Structures are given as structure tokens and as C-alpha cells.
Amino acid sequence: MPEKECVGSILQHGLTAFDGQTIVVWASMIGTMAVRQLIVSIFIRAPLIAISSSSFQGGGNHIHSDAVSELIRRRRSIKPSQFNTQRIDDSVVSVLLENANWAPTHGMTEPWRFFVFSDTARESLGHALAGIYRTITPMDVLKPAKADKLVESCRRSSHVIAVAMKRQDSRKIPEIEEIEAVACAVQNLHLTATAYGLAGYWSSGKAICSDQFRDFLTLGPDDRILGLFYLGYTDDEWPDGHRSPAADKIQWFRE
Ligand SMILES: Cc1cc2nc3c(=O)[nH]c(=O)nc-3n(C[C@H](O)[C@H](O)[C@H](O)COP(=O)(O)O)c2cc1C
């Protein structure tokens, strides 16, 4: 089936007419990466809609395992310099954040905190970070281009999400586990972004993870900033990922 016809057919007939397997097979047969990405993002959205609109019986058997593998392996870090300036609807960003909120959490502390900057707030954020960079960087290593990049990355993004870990007063859960929980939340967010065909990028760095930026966000001294998550749309080809074989990092014990 020609590309246009195939995508049109999916859009016209709606998702219910196709099972995930069919769409993955179609997508892999189809030429350009952009069209494949569109189809995969449509396809991956189906289970999200199904979960929210039908009674979920548990076990999640209607979520096809191939779809999950496809989503995980297609997730990519895409830099803000590759974003176009198209704005993402806030309702979509809310779904990303809602899914982030479903991360695992030891002791149900739910330590993730998100600060979402869009519209004119992105500009203020960029300038605040550039100012922090200039303040904390010794003169001999300060690079004006780095400060400019902080501003530009915010400008090019539709939304910029500052990711933080809120430390519990009780200290019952070790700090590393609280950080791990936030990392899980970010992965949920990034995977959901991929499902919507959105480009995302987790960025750390001295200015972003500084005490000064933590104070800017009015967090406490024991809370931690874990990075910025830049979100936007891209017109570029969806990049391929690379990993060394999983087997190199796994040891099995059977006896
Ligand atoms: C905690 C964390 C912090 C990161 N910070 C940066 C960063 O500051 N700069 C950067 O270029 N990439 C950063 N990345 C993204 C990695 O570069 C990226 O995940 C890696 O290149 C693999 O690419 P992929 O995400 O497309 O698979 C970060 C990733 C993680 C998990």
C-alpha cells in the first residue's frame, strides 16, 4: 500500500480497526522514518485511550508487548537545537506528567516534583539559568556561548520542565532511592512523550543542578534538582539509537 494511502487509511478507519501487530508490521514496511514515527505514535496512543476509556481489568493483557518494546527502543534524546518552535498543547503535557506520577516509589513518598515553564516563562527561566551559570563559573573557564545556549534551549522548547526530588522530613527512605524514583518518573514522562511523537531531552549540568537554581525554585536545602526536561516537536528524522548488547551487562544464575 502506498505510504499516503496507508496513513490515510489508519486515520480514516480509526484505531479500533487495527491491532497493534498490524500497525507495527505496516510501519516497519513503510519508507520514511517520519511516516513510520507518525504511525507508531498513533499506534502507541491506542492503549492510552483504551485504558482511560474502558474498564481496566488488570494484568494489562490488551497492551501488546511489541508496542511496549517498540516504544522503549524508539525513545530518543533529541536536543532543543533540533526542535521547531511549535507549541505542545498543555493537555498533552499534563498526560506526560500524570504518567510520571505513576512511577514506582519506595514508601509511597512520591518524591518527584515538576516545575513547568512555557510561553514567556521559558524566557525568564533561560535568563535565570544563564545568570546562575555566569555567577558560579570561574572567569577563566566561563564561556559566553554556554550561557547563550541555556537561553536558546529554553526558547526553542515548547515546555521546559525542571525535575526535582523532594526530600522527606522523616528521612526514612535513603536519598538514592528517592532519586531513583524520580528517574523512573522521568522515564515514564519521556516514554509518553515518545508515544505522542514529541522530542524530549533530559539535561543536567552545573547551572541546572546548582543550589542557586534549587533556591530559584524555592526548594529546600535537602531537595535536589535532577535536571531540565526540554520538550518540543522536531522536523528532523527520528534518530536511531545505539546500545552495546544487553548480554554484556547481564549474568544469569540457574544453579
Ligand atoms: C540523568 C541524565 C542526565 C542527562 N544529562 C545530559 C546532559 O546534561 N547533556 C547531554 O548531552 N545529555 C544528557 N543526557 C542524555 C544522554 O546523553 C542520552 O540519554 C544518551 O546519549 C543516550 O541517548 P538516548 O537517550 O537517545 O538513548 C542525560 C541523561 C540522563 C539519564
Residue 235 vs residues 12, 42, 166, 194: alpha-carbon distances, Å: 24, 17, 35, 14
Q: Say how far apart CA 163 and CA 161 lie, in whole Å.
A: 6
Q: How many structural domains comprise the chain?
A: 2
CA of 227 to the centre of ligand 1 (A): 10
Q: Are residues 53 and 100 in the same domain?
A: no
Domain for residue 248, yes or no? no
CA of 111 to the centre of ligand 1 (A): 21
Residue at 90: amino acid letter: D
Q: Are residues 98 and 189 in the same domain?
A: yes
Q: Are residues 127 and 173 in the same domain?
A: yes
pLDDT category at 226 given cuts 50, 70, 90 is: very high
pLDDT digits (tens, 9 = 90+) for 101-151: 999 999 999 999 999 999 999 999 999 999 999 999 999 999 999 999 999
Last residue of a domain, one of 74, 92, 125: 74
Q: Are residues 88 and 197 in the same domain?
A: yes
Domain for residue 242, yes or no? no
- Per the structure block, which three cell numbers stand in for 96? 506526560
CA of 75 to the centre of ligand 1 (A): 12
**What's the pLDDT at 29?**
39
Q: Residues with Cβ < 8 Å from 168, sequence gap 6 or more?
A: 107, 109, 111, 178
Q: Are residues 126 and 201 in the same domain?
A: yes
CA of 137 to the centre of ligand 1 (A): 22
Percentage of the chain modeled with pLDDT above 90 = 74
Domain for residue 21, yes or no? yes
Q: Are residues 62 and 92 in the same domain?
A: no
Q: Are residues 117 and 189 in the same domain?
A: yes
Q: Are residues 88 and 133 in the same domain?
A: yes
Q: Say how far apart CA 83 and CA 152 lie, in whole Å.
A: 11
Q: Are residues 15 and 82 in the same domain?
A: no
Q: Say how far apart CA 39 and CA 56 lie, in whole Å.
A: 25
Pocket-testing residue among 77, 163, 236, ligand 1, by greatest number of atoms within 8 A of Cβ: 77
Domain for residue 183, yes or no? yes
Domain for residue 252, yes or no? no
Question: Which residue is closest in CA terms to ligand 1's atom 31?
Answer: 202
Q: Are residues 100 and 144 in the same domain?
A: yes
Answer for the pair 132, 216: CB distance below 8 angstroms, yes or no. yes
pLDDT reading at 26 higher than 60: no
Beta bridge partners of 188: none
* Mean per-residue pLDDT over the chain, rounded: 84
**What's the pLDDT at 59?**
60
Using CB distances shorter than 6 Å, the residues near ligand 1 are: 76-77, 202-205, 227, 241
Domain for residue 249, yes or no? no
Determine the structural domain holding residue 140 and report its residue range. Answer: 77-237
Domain for residue 244, yes or no? no
- Per the structure block, which three cell numbers stand in for 153? 534551549
Closest CA to 35 of 15, 12, 8, 65: 8
Q: Which residue has the higher pLDDT, 61 or 187?
A: 187
Q: Are residues 122 and 144 in the same domain?
A: yes
Answer for the pair 194, 74: CB distance below 8 angstroms, yes or no. yes
Last residue of a domain, one of 58, 74, 90: 74
pLDDT reading at 20 higher than 90: no
Q: What is the CATH number of the domain that holds 220?
A: 3.40.109.10
pLDDT digits (tens, 9 = 90+) for 40-67: 444 444 334 334 433 445 665 678 889 9
Listing DSSP states for the chain in one string gives: --HHHHHHHHHHH-GGGS-HHHHHHHHHHSS-HHHHHHHHHHHHHHHHHHHHHS---STTTTS-HHHHHHHHHH--B--GGGB-SPPPPHHHHHHHHHHHTTS--GGG---EEEEEEETHHHHHHHHHHHHHHHHHS-TTT--HHHHHHHHHHHHH-SEEEEEEEPPPTT--S-HHHHHHHHHHHHHHHHHHHHHTT-EEEEE--TTTTSHHHHHHTT--TT-EEEEEEEEE-B-SPPPPP----GGGG------
Question: Which residue is closest in CA terms to ligand 1's atom 12?
Answer: 203
Domain for residue 247, yes or no? no
Q: Are residues 34 and 128 in the same domain?
A: no
- Per the structure block, which three cell numbers stand in for 107? 514508601
Last residue of a domain, one of 41, 56, 74: 74
CA of 201 to the centre of ligand 1 (A): 7
